[in-house]
Amino acid sequence: MSKEIERRRTFAIISHPDAGKTTLTEKFLLFGGQIQVAGAVKNNKIRKTATSDWMDIEKQRGISVSTSVMEFDYLPEGLEGDPYKVNILDTPGHQDFAEDTYRTLTAVDSAIIVVDSAKGVEAQTRKLMEVCRMRNTPVIIFINKMDREGRDPFDVLDELEEELKIKVRPLSWPIGQGARFKGVYNIYEKQLNLFTPNKQRVTEKVSVDIDSAELDLHVGEREAQQLRDDLELVNGVYPEFEVESYRSAEVAPVFFGSALNNFGVQELLNCFVEIAPSPRPTKAEERMVSPEEPKFTGFIFKITANIDPNHRSCIAFCKVCSGKFVRNQPYQHIRLGKTVRFSSPTQFMAQRKSTIDEAYPGDIVGLPDNGIFKIGDTLTEGELLHFRGLPSFSPEMFKYIENDDPMKSKQFQKGLEQLMNEGVAQLFVNQFNGRRVVGTVGQLQFEVIQYRLENEYNAKCRWEPVHLHKACWIESDNAEQLDQFKKRKYQYMAKDIEGRDVFLADSGYVLSMAQQDFEDIKFHFTSEF
């Protein structure tokens, strides 16, 4: 059991849009032997789209919309023993799908942050780093797009320290950049990797003593001198790399490379499987759950509707926290208080999936969901545990959703319910006129919902404007006051999917007045309270 836990590495790839997450994931899969030719997101010459972007809408727009899960076995060259089992979660970078990414971060043990060398740290990266810091998740930083003109590597490192509030330590160093980019010197393995631009094959490696004349032959005199000076400076400024300080999330190792040209990626992967933490204890409300425990526990962190368009089925993603998950075993569903069995649990390679018989801590298992799961549910062998999920935030944009084809009302209902359970957006039903209001964090989600309703559920919808400022959940110990509030504000009262009272304020002023007038009522802006 402990051997199985030891070889697991579960991580998420996170960044601002367009820094190159999905391309990096592709290259990882290439090394893991899962695909023979890597696809790209923006394919001018490459006919194949990225493996992890399997929804039609993702292929059309060249962005990731939903987190996808991939796994493979990997053993670096020259090592003996069992291969490592790597579980990757490729997350969407777009702000509009940030919630999906935040929830994914609850289910991983470490993260790789991708930074564009020219743009440096961007807004979304900063936000995601905050979530990692909250949970003490160790991070490795990959500075991408070194084959384009960008900024000085030292400037980028300073910016990382300043913006992400974490100490950094380079474990590889670039030789030149943009058109003059010659390769990377791998500090961790003391090897020189020479760069030849090729999108789908791997580059050559040379072991070189840094002070010898051999280096000059490979990269040229000027560049070799520059490299020696830079490395001297790096070793002088940054302390020695210690694995423990990385695992306790104090230091972030930094790698340079180009994901598109497949450069510097293998070094990152080799070093990552060596130093990254195996599954860590998970915090439940009652106690800490250690992965070595014999009894199974796990929680649901994401639900995807419609992976297979021929079946209207949902899949719930379950992260195994302790013990061993076995097929057909009875497990306790804590929230509903009933026993459930799973005859066909699956593991993933984005959209391709295969049935498994057992899974160990750190693995992500797909469970067929017929509407019994919600995000944050806990499964155990009988013990009453509650894992704490991440809350949904209060939406910022609202529209009325109407069924555009009266003949298809059943499909429309079903589609809307499944998409809302995914947590892409939130649905409120106005108590005054019975109309449905959809709340999201960004504009793009409305388009995604409309597109998926049409293409996956065969239902048409139309959006109508509604002027709202904020949705907040209300509760109170004073029943009389609550009743009075509902009577006075009956036009603005709604229920969410779970039937809780939500107040839809149409302006900031109305909200602050309500907070003043009704002192005993608590207004919540996240759904977990």
Average pLDDT over every residue of 138-157: 85
pLDDT tens per residue, range 397-418: 889 989 888 888 898 888 888 7
Nearest Cα to Cα of residue 329 among 361, 286, 295, 364 = 295
* Per-residue pLDDT at 309 exceeds 70: no
Q: Are 527 and 427 in contact (CB under 8 A)?
A: no
The count of residues in the chain is 529
Residue 41: pLDDT band with limits 50, 70, 90: very low
Average pLDDT over every residue of 19-39: 67
* Per-residue pLDDT at 57 exceeds 80: no
Write down the pLDDT at residue 43. 46
Give the C-alpha distances (Å, rounded to integers) separating 27 from 60, 267, 280, 517. Answer: 21, 12, 26, 58
* Per-residue pLDDT at 37 exceeds 60: no
Instruction: Measure the CA angle with vertex 426, ends 425 and 427; round to 5°.
Output: 130
Residue 260: pLDDT band with limits 50, 70, 90: confident
* Per-residue pLDDT at 96 exceeds 70: no
Nearest Cα to Cα of residue 242 among 275, 271, 277, 272 = 275
Average model confidence (pLDDT) across the chain = 78
Q: Are 142 and 168 in contact (CB under 8 A)?
A: no
**CA 13 – CA 105 distance, rounded (Å):** 10
Q: Are 298 and 379 in contact (CB under 8 A)?
A: yes
Q: Which two tokens stand for residue 380?
A: 């155990």
Q: Which two tokens stand for residue 431?
A: 């108590």
Write down the pLDDT at residue 393. 62
The segment with the largest mean pLDDT, out of 23-27, 94-98, 229-233, is: 229-233
Average pLDDT over every residue of 231-239: 83
Fold equal for 282-380 and 397-524: no
**CA 163 – CA 431 distance, rounded (Å):** 45
CATH class of 282-380: alpha beta
DSSP-assigned letters across all residues of 321-371: EES-EETT--EEETTTTEEE--S--EEEETTEEEE-SEE-TT-EEEEEESS
Bridge partners of 303, per DSSP, are: 316
Higher-confidence position of 232 and 305:
232
The CATH code of domain 2-275 reads 3.40.50.300
The domain segmentation of the chain, as residue ranges, is 2-275, 282-380, 397-524
The CATH code of domain 397-524 reads 3.30.70.3280
Question: Residue 166 CA to chain centroid, in angstroms?
Answer: 20
Residue 242: pLDDT band with limits 50, 70, 90: confident
pLDDT tens per residue, range 372-400: 887 778 888 878 888 775 556 667 788 99
Q: Are 175 and 227 in contact (CB under 8 A)?
A: yes
